[in-house]
Structure 1
Amino acid sequence: MSLNKYTLDRFEGDYGIFLKRPEETDQLLIHRSEIGLQLTEGDLVSIQDDGERYIIRLLAEETSETKKSVESILKELKNQNKQ
């Protein structure tokens, strides 16, 4: 039984495409019917594979912190481009 952290990259058709953290190079495709949560792109989750199904938990605090960090970096980049 493995537990890993992933970022929801996108939805393609009936599948959620999750990227394994921290490198985000390995993909995991999970059918929407197995997700069981209301997720949006960029959400961080823990995914446990018990061999029969996926147990997915939203990491709300980590998601919020990561989104704030990305917004700060984008704002900084935009300000650099204005100079």
Structure 2
Amino acid sequence: MSYHKKYTLDRFEGDYAIFLQHPDETKQLLVHLGDIGVEVKQGDIVTIYDNGQTYEVQVLKQETANQKQHITNLMQQLREKNK
């Protein structure tokens, strides 16, 4: 049985990437770097397909860009509020 879910790449630890399930980011998924197959960076939002034996990771570039812009906007609002 295969399934796919969205995750955010939180960090790298040794030979593993630590993904947090999107959007609540409370559940973790550890994936060996050799199983990823695409270039990923911290903060990337991805879809991970799991067929029980292998993972297929797809970077969701537009969602990642939108999230980064949202964070940038929040940071700007905080800076302006603290002036």
TM-score by length of 2: 0.96
* TM-superposition CA deviations, 1:18-76 (whole Å, max 9, x none): 00011100000000000111111000000010111001100000000110001000111
Distance in structure 2 (CA, Å) of the matches to 1:35 and 1:81: 41
Aligned to 1:27: 28
Indicate the percent of aligned positions where both proteins have the same amino acid: 45
Distance in structure 2 (CA, Å) of the matches to 1:34 and 1:79: 43
Distance in structure 2 (CA, Å) of the matches to 1:9 and 1:78: 24
Q: Which SS does the other structure have where 2:82 is aligned? A: helix
> What residue identity is the alignment partner of 1:68?
Q
Q: Given the alignment of the two structures, is residue 63 of structure 1 paired with residue 64 of structure 2, yes or no?
A: yes
Give the number of equivalent residue pairs.
82
Aligned to 1:48: 49
Structure 1 ranges of 4+ moved more than 3 A: none
Distance in structure 1 (CA, Å) of the matches to 2:57 and 2:17: 12
CA RMSD of superposed structures (Å):
0.6
Distance in structure 1 (CA, Å) of the matches to 2:79 and 2:11: 25
Gaps of 5+ in 2: none
